[in-house]
Amino acid sequence: MERTYVMLKPDAYERRLIGEIISRIERKNFKITDIKMLNLNKAMLAKHYAHLVNKPFYSALEKFMMSGPVVAMIVEGENVVQGIRNLMGATKWLEAIQGTIRGDYANNTTENLIHGSDSIENAEIEIERFFGSK
């Protein structure tokens, strides 16, 4: 069964939206097979966001992602990688349509509540990074 890595960001925690977002994932009938809360550090973020470390917004992104705990999950289901991306909505909050998590709750592109792997290959890399071999 396909798996993906999902991470609820510090704004989701701060805004008390953890339960709401998990409910949306479960209502879609995706299965959470592991879950934990953790605090990220600079080294973990530099790996996770390696494609962004040279962007002008990286330092703000890093600061935000270390501003509180994240909730890390392994989520399983048919076509779950794309399915979670669809539930999340677009990266840029103004492009995220209503009914998606970002479309309904985000008004900022950095503080956009949720991460979901963008490919099956990256999902396995991210699961290994945050949960070890499973």
**Catalytic residue list:** 115
- For 89: left if phi > 0, alpha if psi spans -120 to 50, otherwise beta; the answer is left
Instruction: Please state, as a whole number, how many other Cβ atoms lie within 10 Å of the Cβ of residue 108.
Output: 11
Residues that contact ligand DAT, how many (by CB under 6 A): 9
Report if residue 79 touches ligand DAT, rule: CB under 6 A. Answer: no
Q: In whole angstroms, how far apart are CA 126 and each of 63, 77, 101?
A: 20, 17, 21
Applying CB under 5 A, the residues found at the interface with Mg ion are: 118
Report if residue 48 touches ligand DAT, rule: CB under 6 A. Answer: no
The least CB distance from residue 118 to Mg ion, in Å, is: 5
**Interface ranges with ligand DAT (CB under 6 A):** 52, 57, 61, 91, 109-110, 112, 115, 118
